[in-house]
Structures are given as C-alpha cells and as structure tokens.
Structure 1
Amino acid sequence: MDAVMSSFRMDGRVALLSGAGRGIGARSALALAEAGADVVLLSRTQSQLDGVAEQVRALGRRALPLATDAADPDAVAAAVERAVTDLGRLDVVVSVTGGSTPKPFLKTSDRSLAMSFETNVIQGLRLVRNAVPHLLGSDAASIVMISSAIGHVVGRGYVGYGSGKAALDHAVRLLAAELNPKIRVNAVAPGAILTESLEVVAADPAMKQALEDATPLQRIGTVEDIAAAVLYLASPASSYVTGQVLAVDGGLAVTNMDMPFPDL
C-alpha cells in the first residue's frame, strides 16, 4: 500500500502550469505542490499568480510566478526558458487554456471558429513545443492538457468550442505517439466544474438544480476533482498511461448544459 501511495509523490520535480492564476490551474498547482513539486505559474495577471505562489510557498515548495500571455509566442518561449534557468529542470507541463462562448451554429463566424482553435488547441501546443526539449531531460516527464467533456459529448451551441476540444483530444493521442517513450501525454476532460465562470449560473438555485439533475452523479464538479486527476496523470502513479483523455464529468453521455436554441 505504501508503494502505491508514494507513487503520487512529486518530490524533486518541477511542474509548469499555464492558466495558473485561478480556478483549475491554480488548484492543480497547489495539488502538485502538496505532493512535493516546485511549480512555475503562468497566466496573464501577476496579482493572481502572486496569490497562488504565496500558497505554494506556505506548503514549503518553490514557486515562480511569471505573468505570460499564452497568445504571445515569444513570451511563452521566454517563460519556459526562465523556468528551467531558475528552477533547474522541467518534469511536468500542465496546459490550462481555452474557452468559447456558446452560440447557434449559424451565428458562429469564421473568426469565432479561428479563436476557438487558437485558444483551445494552438496555445496549448505552443507551450508544449517549447517545453519538450527540456522535458527530454527528465526521467518521469509528463504532459497534461485540460480538455472538456464537450470534446466528446453533444449539445446545441458548442460547435466552436467542442470542435476545438475534440481537436485537442486527438492532438493528445498524436503527441503521445510521437513523444513515446520518453514523455507521456494525457488530458483531463472536465464536465461542469464550479469555477468563477460557472458561479454565475450556479448562483441561480433553479439553474443549479437543473444542472445537477442532468448529471448522473447529481452534483457539479469541483476544482479539487480536476486537480486530483491532474496529479494522477502528472505523477509516477500513471507511469503506464499515455495517449488517454480522462473524463472527469460526473458520468455525462450528453451535455448537462444544452443551450435552449430553437430548431431551424
């Protein structure tokens, strides 16, 4: 039993996380720090990063908060280089980026589609491409992408977002094949998770109840649910797992947030 539990430890490892200023990224950073990892924190807002870094240091781990725009290739490359220079190594990359506003398909413009692929696919792959040369020096390298249940379930209003996340899911499989055997690549696909963006919906008791009723496990997910999955895929506990998309969505077969768009 001790051997299994110890496989979740991340002592002596360095993990870099994008989108780490709040929500899933911040909680995942804390989970990795709780397991013993030092962390590099990326997002656009320095004040948010500083708050997370303070919590990481309170756990006795090193934290390097770097305000970085994921849409800026030069800034991403510089952040990865700074991470390795300052902390000496890189073992894990967790990419938390993406999002898209639900729209009826006929109102989903070319620009909306392009932006969905930019934020949900390109930005994550850009970070990974910069990190891979450094990950090759690790004896337990792992990449974890944050996808979404909408990449594999169906619902109205999600052509842009769902197509982007579905592309990310297959990119994970393709990356795993190309980076084997030195670097493992997996993804977590969350369902409805109570982050800042969902709190507006959950604040309405009727909408919250409807969301829970449409979820087989009858509750909204938490950032801790996702952070636990990230820790599993980042740590040696999943050392025989690669090319997988782990659904952490309460058991969804269809979306529990279908948009009320009328038939054409």
Structure 2
Amino acid sequence: MKTIVVIGGSKGIGKAILNKLLNHSKVVNISRTAPQMEHANLNHFSCDITKDNLPDLDKIDALIYCPGSINLKPISRLSIDDFKNDFEINVLGAVKAVHKYLPILKNGEKPSILLFSTVAAKLGMPFHASIATAKSGVEGLVKSLGAELAPTIRINAIAPTVTDTELASKLLRNDKMIENIKERHPLKKFLNPEEVAGMAEFLISDKAASLSGQIFEMDCGIVSFKI
C-alpha cells in the first residue's frame, strides 16, 4: 500500500483528494485543522505550512501540496504584503515541502509530486495579479523540477478553473453569480472538488507514469476555446 502525503487536506479540493485516496492508500494529512473524518488509513499532523516545521516521516510515495489563496483585488489595492503572502502560501510552502521530503521521496515506490496552479496563470483576468503571479511561479517550479528530478521523481500540476469550495465561496455566493460563471465557460459549468480529486488520483498513479513537468488545465473550456 502506497503512502501519500497530502498538505492541506482538511478542506475543499484537499479533502476531496483524501476521500479518494483513503480507499487504497495510507494518507498522511498535514494541515492547520484536522479533517472531519476518521479512517484506519489516515494519520493527521497539525501544522501551519508557513510557520511550523513539517513532521518527520519515514516513508512517502507521493506528495500532494494543496494550499492556495484567492486574493482578488485591483492592483491599486494590492499591497506588497499581499504579493508576499500569496507567494509564501502557494510557492514557498510547496518548496518547503519538497525540500523536507525529497530525500524520503527518492526512496519511494515510483514517487511523484503534485502541485496546484490556476487557469489565471494562462488567461489574463482582472483583479488576479497577485494570485496569477504566484501560481505562475508554481508552474515554473513544476517545469524546472520535472527536468531536475527525472527519471526518479515525476512532478505535475493541476490548474483548475473556479471550483465549488469554501475558498471560492465569494465567487459563488448567489444564483446570479453562479449562472454568470457557468455562462463564461464554454462547457457551461464549473468544477466540483471530486472532479479535481479524480485527476489528482490519476496523476500520482502508475497510470500516469509517462507524465512529468506538465500543467493540466481543468478549465471547462475557458482557456482552451473561444466560442
């Protein structure tokens, strides 16, 4: 049975990933709050990725880094601290996790790493300057580490569009906003966490053994199509 570390698995996409993986893997969740579930295959460590030391572990086959932010403001209202905070959560937290667990991952069974970007790194959208900058850093990290760690460790990222989670609740707070978001996407929908979790499960599995250094846009067509 594989051992998978999920950082940020107590809510949203991370929680959906836990639910998928616990059926067949041992999962170590690392987050500030414990997930509201119990399972024989689940072990939790309380930790703030931006402040605390990560726990020592002796076996890891895959590392999934889920923490993110949605900090949408016009550039005139985005402070330098906003940019620093988004970069710390999205990029430096991922680097910290990779630094900590890389030596153990190298001894894992067909090891892999999965990070998260956003469609805003490809599609220019108003008010996304800080988060798009941070997530572009994540994509650069994936490309560089994909080359550096081959052939031992694979690394990929998922770049979702709007996903129905607590983090995106301000974007989906009433029926009109929900309908507007659906209409903006050529597939006339947005994502649910379980869809993203399914892609995450695939990308760390042996079925994705030929994929590394890739950014997978789960975009409901918003980046790919102009209709």
Please indicate, yes or no, whether the TM-score normalized by the shorter chain is above 0.5: yes
1:65 alignment partner in structure 2: 44
CA deviations on 1:137-187 (whole Å, 9 max, x unpaired) are: 113101000111111111000111101001111110101111111000000
Answering whether residue 48 of structure 2 is matched by residue 31 of structure 1, we say no
Q: Superposition pairs for residues 198-209 of structure 1, below 5 Å? A: 198-209=168-179
Q: Distance in 2 between matches of 1:37 and 1:108?
A: 41
CA distance in 1, matches of 2:205, 2:3: 11
Q: Which residue is equivalent to 1:197?
A: 167
* Pair 1:201–1:139, CA change in 2 (3 A): closer
TM-score, length of structure 2 as denominator length: 0.94
- TM-superposition CA deviations, 1:76-134 (whole Å, max 9, x none): 2xx2x1x32xxxx2100000112141111122211111111111100011111111100
CA distance in 2, matches of 1:27, 1:243: 24
The structure with the largest alpha-carbon Rg is 1
TM-score by length of 1: 0.82
Residue identity matched to 2:216: L
Q: Mapping of 1:137-156 within 5 angstroms?
A: 137-156=107-126
Q: Name the SS for the 2:5 alignment partner.
A: strand
Write the mapping of 1:134-173 to structure 2, written as runs, cut at 5 A.
134-173=104-143
8 A Cα contact 1:145 1:186, kept in partner: yes
Does the 8 Å contact 1:225/1:248 carry over to 2?
no
Q: Distance in 2 between matches of 1:206 and 1:246?
A: 29
- SS of 1:75's equivalent in the other structure is coil
Q: Quick one: distance in 1 between partners of 2:167 and 2:101?
A: 29
Maintained 8 Å contact 2:69/2:167: no
Tell me, yes or no, if the aligned pair for 1:144 and 1:233 is still in contact at 8 Å: yes
Which structure: greater helix fraction? 1
Distance 1:173 1:17, change over 3 A: same
**Equivalent position to 1:44, from 27, 32, 43:** 32
2:184 to 214, 217, 221: 214
- Give the ranges of 4+ consecutive aligned residues of structure 1 lying more than 3 Å apart after TM superposition: none
Q: How far did residue 202 of structure 1 move?
A: 2.4
- CA distance, structure 1, for counterparts of residue 148 and residue 111 of structure 2: 14
Partner of 1:17: 6
Tell me how far 1:62 sits from its aligned partner.
Answer: 1.4
How many residue pairs get matched? 224
Name the SS of the counterpart of 1:69 in structure 2. coil
What secondary structure sits across from 2:22 in the alignment?
helix
5+ unaligned residues in a row in structure 2: which ranges? none
% same residue? 24
Q: 2:212 aligns with which of 226, 242, 247?
A: 242
AA partner of residue 230 (structure 1) = A
Looking at structure 2, the residues matched to 122 and 153 of structure 1 have their Cα atoms a distance apart, in angstroms, of: 23
| Cα contact 1:103–1:157 (8 A) shared by 2 | yes
Partner of 2:221: 251
Alpha-carbon RMSD = 1.4
Look up the equivalent residue of 2:193 and give its one-letter code.
V
Gaps of 5+ in 1: 1-11, 255-264
